Amino acid sequence: MTLAETLSFLPYGQYALYIWLSYGITFILIVGLFVRASINYKKIRSQLKNKYAREND
Amino acid sequence: MWKWIQKLASPKVFYETTNKLIPWFFWPFIALIIIGLYWGLVLAPADYQQGESFRIIYIHVPSAWMSMLVYFIMAVAGGIGLIWQIKMAEVVAKVSAPIGATFTLIALVTGAVWGKPMWGTWWVWDARLTSELILLFLYLAYISLNNAFDNPKTAAKASSILAIVGLVNLPIIHYSVKWWNTLHQGSMFNDISNPSMHPDMLWPLLIMVFAFQFLYGVLVLVNARDEVLVREQNSRWVRAVVTGEKL
């Protein structure tokens, strides 16, 4: 029994594996872009804050 | 209009404008993606030949279109930076690259996953797939080149030239299905007034295309905003933004 047949109980039957795999990978990559942006946002502000604090000392 | 563009070239105005625009791109993206996904995955009928598998089109085609559009924007912004020395254009080009690379990766991966049940193989070295893979390599080369220099001005110059040269790949991707025999299906929009898709399938596709455009918009704005802070970190206004001090 292939993986596609095993997962055929999901919506879209024999194509469930391919459809959900495509949408799943897309979701992960797009969320990854937002996570990267959010990490950068925090990192840059914290680095700049430290820099300005050092300059004030 | 020209005055407005000149104003936007100021990093401070650019930063303030990006901040204001982010919600105007984010919320339409959320609304369109929900409508597009529901319409495409639930309401749209199955294809008479490809069955349910055709639903991959709703992420494959928008991401493939965006991979080319973002590259075009990146190259044009890079060109504007080169010719008119507008730093904010360099910023837009730089932050567009990872987003465009991700769209290209999505197009390639979803195309491979769609190809398996339809063509019986994950990958073939045909013109459309190969030229799209070259586009991914161009994005990666742009990102590497941009990160290879400490001076952002030199980095922008070198990588913009690469992006402009790489523009030649866009018509190759677009016309590859016409110029060569390929497994990949032809364009659905040769005649815009008479697309080869039923409206029940076409509308969710168009909605998803708009959703991906807003997605690109929000990601560019968020990343450009941070890039401006880094580049202008010695300015008083950036210090005021970060520390909350008054100017």
Task: Out of B52-56, B187-191, B198-202, B241-245, pick the least confident.
Answer: B187-191
| Tokens encoding B177 | 């299905």
Q: Which of B37, B56, B60, B36 is nearest to B46 (CA)?
A: B56
> Could you tell me if B238 lies within 8 Å of chain A, comparing CB atoms?
yes
Pairwise CB contact (< 8 Å): A18 & B56? yes
Count of residues for chain B? Answer: 247
In this predicted model, which residue has the larger pLDDT, A11 or B159? B159
Q: How many CB pairs under 8 A join A and B?
A: 78
Apex CA B60: angle with CA B58 and CA B65, to 5°?
A: 100
**Residue B191 pLDDT greater than 70, yes or no:** no
pLDDT of residue A56: 80
Q: Which of B77, B125, B117 is nearest to B97 (CA)?
A: B77
pLDDT tens profile B7-28: 777 899 999 999 999 999 999 9
Name the average pLDDT for chain B.
92
> Could you tell me if A23 lies within 8 Å of chain B, comparing CB atoms?
yes
pLDDT of residue A29: 98
- Residue A34 with chain B: CB contacts under 8 Å: 219
Give the 3-state secondary structure of A4-52: HHHHHHCCCHHHHHHHHHHHHHHHHHHHHHHHHHHHHHHHHHHHHHHHH
pLDDT of residue B180: 84
Pairwise CB contact (< 8 Å): B226 & A18? no
- Residue B63 with chain A: CB contacts under 8 Å: 26
Pairwise CB contact (< 8 Å): B219 & A13? no
CB atoms within 10 A of CB A11: 12
pLDDT tens profile B77-103: 999 999 998 899 999 999 999 999 999
Q: pTM of the full predicted structure?
A: 0.94
Q: Which of A26, A34, A49 sits opposite B59 (nearest CB)?
A: A26
| Tokens encoding B96 | 């567009």
Q: Which of B105, B100, B113 is nearest to B57 (CA)?
A: B113
> Could you tell me if B226 lies within 8 Å of chain A, comparing CB atoms?
yes
> Could you tell me if A41 lies within 8 Å of chain B, comparing CB atoms?
yes
For chain A, what are the domain ranges? 3-56
Pairwise CB contact (< 8 Å): A18 & B60? no
Pairwise CB contact (< 8 Å): A44 & B52? no
CB atoms within 10 A of CB B202: 15
> Could you tell me if B51 lies within 8 Å of chain A, comparing CB atoms?
yes
Pairwise CB contact (< 8 Å): A23 & B59? yes
Measured on CA atoms in the order B234, B84, B66, B113, is the torsion positive or negative?
Answer: negative
Task: Out of A36-45, B189-198, B237-246, pick the least confident.
Answer: B189-198
